[in-house]
Amino acid sequence: MQGNEVTLDGLTVTYPNGFTAVHPTDLTIRAGEFFSILGPSGCGKTTILRTVSGFVQPSAGKVLIGGQDMGSKAPNARPTALIFQNLALFPLMSVRENVAFGLEARGVGKRERLNRADELLDLVALGDQGSKKPGELSGGQRQRVAIARALAVEPAVLLLDEPLSALDLKLRQHMREELRSIQKKTGVTFLYITHDQSEALTMSDRVAVMNEGRIEQVGTGDEIYSNPKTAFAATFVGEVNAIPGTIRAVDGGLVQIETALGSFSAENPQAMGVGEACLLFIRPERLQITPDPHCVNRFPARLQRRDMEGAFVTYHLQAMANGQPLLAQRVNTGPQPIAGETTVGFEPSAASVLPVGKLAKTGREQAA
């Protein structure tokens, strides 16, 4: 098995009802890469997946796999295999027949395809379950059958549509490792669709953050978490404090910005100019409570609540100046009673300013 490169060239998908699910998108997924598209539901990520697999036709632009234009090739003529969210195992066939189905469709003889199915079931550690029906297996086992079934056709690209979303937490975490190791073992290009950032960050070589039909940023998990390029990417991946402000001065890579909480110095990755309205982003783990005396960015805040989350502790604070809620996180090094008024601060290298843009919905907004 060998992976192939996938290229989206100006890919656009507008549905007959006029809704544009995917705005013109250029993207290259490298051969043999584990690539995730991360975004909230309805952002167009599933549409991209279905366009690559051939179930949706692009309204404009092209899908190329291994440099070959897929044109209007039907799903059964593409070198892709799709793992559905509900897995779509065939309930009336045995596990072995499920895995062998793709080979059956290619006219491989019965003995050969069943042998091949057994090999693949061994690969996903289900060698002894071949004669069962999918309904007799556990959730994680069914997951692995779906993977084996998709790998049986030796796809150049494996497409995965949130396949772990139906599993419970522990199993989900375990399946991440398994998916990653299967991908490494086979070298197939994985295109993984998810709204779960920790899934995307832990498994992927690279991640594309997507919102409202547009890709906001492509990069490694580290790049996206540490150097988000847009307000959406900053707020969708991980928790973040966002403070609105205006740029007062630009000094090399740093800017001076004026906010309701005071004047701060921060990184300027998008090279914004003086006078521009911006958002200042600080990750909770970079916001210090009672910072070093030499820390230049500091302002008074009141501690509201302390949430013990096991390995770390989350502090809910309120800026004294305007009551803006803020989050700070610390590694849990034992009880540290902090209460009432305090000073918080952050290093300029720990914060960055980005142009004002759409933010990801907070949990409270999603619940509303």
Partner 1 sequence: MTSQRLLTAYTWAFLVFMFAPLVLMILASFNDTSPPSVTDWQGFTTKWYEFFWMPVEQLRADPVLRALDRDRFLMCFGNSLSVAGMVVPLSLALGLAGAVMLTRWQSRFNSVLWWVLLSPMLAPGIVLGLSTLVFWGRVGVPGGLFTIVMAQVTFVAGYPMLILMARLQRQPIEMEEAALDLGASPWRTFRRITLPFLAPALFSSGVIAFLASMENYNTTMFAKGSACTFATEIGAMARNPNGHPPVINAVGTVIILLTVAFALGHALLQRKERAL
Q: How far is the CB of 368 from partner 1 (least distance, A)?
A: 31
Tell me the Cα Rg of the chain.
24
At closest approach, how far in Å is the CB of 246 from partner 1? 50
Long-range contacts of range 101-106, CB-CB < 8 Å, 24 or more positions apart? Answer: 101/149, 101/152, 102/149, 102/150, 102/152, 102/153, 103/152, 103/153, 105/76, 106/153
The CB-of-159 to partner 1 minimum distance in angstroms stands at: 9
| Minimum CB distance to partner 1 smaller for 76 or for 332 | 76
Distance CA 338, CA 5 (A): 53
* Closer residue to partner 1 (CB): 104 or 205: 104
Using a 10 angstrom Cβ sphere, with 0-12 exposed, 13-18 middle and 19 or more buried, the burial of residue 251 is exposed
Q: Tokens 């395809």 map to which residue?
A: 113
Q: Which is nearer to partner 1, 100 or 201 (CB)?
A: 100
Q: Footprint of partner 1 on this chain (CB under 8 A)? A: 53-55, 74-77, 80-82, 84-86, 88-92, 101-102, 104-106, 135, 149-150, 152-153
Kindly tell me the number of DSSP H helices and DSSP E strands found in the chain: 9, 20
b (16+ CB within 10 A) / e for 120-157 = bbebbebeebbeeebeebeebbbbbbbbbbbbbbbbbb
Of the pair 70, 266, the CB lying nearest partner 1 is at 70
DSSP character for 285?
G
Which CB atom, from 80 or from 297, has the smaller least distance to partner 1? Answer: 80
Q: Side chain identity at 101, as an amino acid letter?
A: F
Q: Which is nearer to partner 1, 135 or 335 (CB)?
A: 135
- 204 vs 10: CA distance, rounded Å: 24
Q: How far apart are CA 318 and CA 329, in angstroms?
A: 14
User: Shortest approach of partner 1 to residue 300 CB, angstroms?
Assistant: 56
Query: How near is the Cβ of 106 to partner 1 at its closest, in Å?
Result: 6
Taking the complex as a whole, how short is the minimal distance between the CB of residue 291 and partner 1, in angstroms? 53
Least distance to partner 1 from the beta carbon of 363, Å? Answer: 30
Closer Cβ to partner 1, 84 or 312, answer by number: 84
